[in-house]
Amino acid sequence: MKLYFAPGACSIGIHYLLERLGAPYQRHAVHIRNGENNQDWYAAINPKKRVPTLERDDGSVVTEFPVIARYLADENPRAGLVPKDKEKLLRASELCDFVVATVHMQGFSRAFRPVKFAPDGSQHAAVVERGREIIHDGLAVVERSIGPGGTLHSIESFADAALFYVFFWGAERLKLELPATCAQRWQDMKTSPHARNVFQSEAITL
């Protein structure tokens, strides 16, 4: 397998998942800031021109973060990241989709790139503030899911791939105070050997 990733982008979550699974894979950095994702060679691999992209051994490609995360967990059952309980599996899928579609795409996208939502620079501060509100509310939802009494409390799953990157962005990039369980989960994740390998590979210093 080969992972196409952009350093520090959401693909860091799939990078972390691959390390956590211990699956053999190759890495290929795609430098989005330089527009490399729009170059013909990458568009031929993933016409969506986004990361992450997972190229399988037969040359076929899997895209979309939640799909890649679930696929990798399914293909590596020994890691136990696909809950056997149907309700927990349902909630893990729900959490992964929510984190990507709402916390990331609606929240962090506004906070990091307000120009995508308002070309007029005078509106950027309001867009960023709205993004931070969405992130705050979204992390509260995550906390209810993984915190005491939540369906996914003390449970590892493929959804952790999504949690990894939004916790990274929130705690390390925006310097937000994460909810208690989220903060502890991030501490456990970022100090793991899997995360250290990812940070080293992506030249990230916390």
Q: What is the pLDDT along the chain (206 residues), one digit of tens a residue?
A: 999 999 999 999 999 999 999 989 999 999 999 999 999 999 999 999 999 999 999 999 999 999 999 999 999 999 999 999 999 999 999 999 999 999 999 999 999 999 999 999 999 999 999 999 999 999 999 999 999 999 999 999 999 999 999 999 999 999 999 999 999 999 999 999 999 999 999 999 99
Instruction: Give exposure, 101-134, as e/b (b: 16+ Cβ within 10 Å).
Output: ebbbeebbbbbeebeebbeeeeebeebbebbbeb
Looking at the whole model, is its pTM more than 0.75?
A: yes
Domain residue extents for the chain:
2-79+196-201, 86-192
Q: List the beta bridge partners of residue 27.
A: 3
Q: Which CATH architecture has domain 86-192?
A: Up-down Bundle (1.20)
Half-sphere exposure of residue 173, counting CA atoms within 13 Å on the CB side? 17
Pairing assessment for the beta strands 26-29 and 53-55 based on DSSP bridges? unpaired
| Model pLDDT, residue 82 | 98
| Model pLDDT, residue 202 | 98
Burial class (CB in 10 A: 0-12, 13-18, 19+), 27: middle
3-class secondary structure, 108: helix
- In CATH, 2-79+196-201 is 3.40.30.10: yes
| Model pLDDT, residue 148 | 97
